[in-house]
Amino acid sequence: MSSWAWRIPLLLSVPLIAVCFWARSRIEDTPEFERLAREARLSRTPLREVIAQHLPALLQIIGLGFAQNAAGYVGVVYLSIHLTRFLKYDPTQVFWLISSVTLLSVLLMPLSGGLSDRIGRRPMLTMALIGYIILAPAMMYLAGLGDFEVTCVAVAISILPFVMMQSVGYPLYAEIMPTRVRYSGVALGFNLAAIAGGATGPYIATWLVQQTGNSLAPAFYIVLVALIGLATLATVQETAQKPLAQ
């Protein structure tokens, strides 16, 4: 069974893809986009325009997206490997722990997003990135003590930066890229960031532990990418409650 059962979750995702396509086909474009379309003012070569005219915004999306993906993938996806392979916790317990905190993050994201509408994107993302710097090393240190109950509390608290980063980052990316090229600009920037940060994050974290023998090494990597995120955020202007750029 172990040789084929892992495919079942992948197959179960097929209906979800159909649901996503159905939902996407019914989402209306923004009034600003529709107005530009009627006036024939949309870019004919959006990728070229993004690189030539909106490179700072593109780099901001890449920098913040890199921090978001690297910290998120190491702090959530890699964490299962870390707890079971290196710290020898029971895989079933770890599965339910990660599933529970993921569900918790889903419930908290609307609250976090709503709060960013009130106090701004920059303050929320600043708190998220500083939270990663403080909580990631603390969580991995506590997990290394070998007490699963303590680990559960530590992981639940450490999910808060992930919640804030995920719920606030995506609106910000759309807001810093002008309407003419928004879809192309955000897609290009964020996907490059996802490849650089998300695709490599778990591998880098595993490699760091293997090379150093230090179970806290992945936390230091999270600290590094969070610092990159803070440096990038310092160049971003506040966008909450402001009209979108054309």
Q: Residue 29: pLDDT above 70? A: yes
pLDDT band, residue 1 (cuts 50/70/90)? low
pLDDT band, residue 36 (cuts 50/70/90)? confident
For residues 190 and 243, the model is more confident at 190
pLDDT band, residue 246 (cuts 50/70/90)? low
pLDDT digits (tens, 9 = 90+) for 174-194: 999 998 899 999 999 999 999
pLDDT band, residue 65 (cuts 50/70/90)? very high
pLDDT at 31: 82
Q: Residue 42: pLDDT above 90? A: no
- Domains in the chain: ranges and CATH: 46-233 (1.20.1250.20)
Handedness of CA 201, 207, 209, 212 (dihedral sign): negative
pLDDT digits (tens, 9 = 90+) for 133-155: 999 999 999 999 999 999 999 99
pLDDT at 111: 96
pLDDT band, residue 221 (cuts 50/70/90)? very high
| Average pLDDT of the segment spanning 40-55 | 90
Other beta carbons within 10 Å of 68:
31
With H, G, I as helix, E, B as strand and everything else as coil, classify residue 44.
coil
For 28, 133, 163, 237, the CA distances from 4, given in Å and listed in that order, are: 41, 39, 33, 50
Residues contacting residue 112 through CB under 8 Å, at least 6 positions apart: 124, 163, 164, 167, 168
Upper half-sphere CA count for residue 51 (Cβ side, 13 Å): 4
Whether the pTM exceeds 0.75: the reply is yes
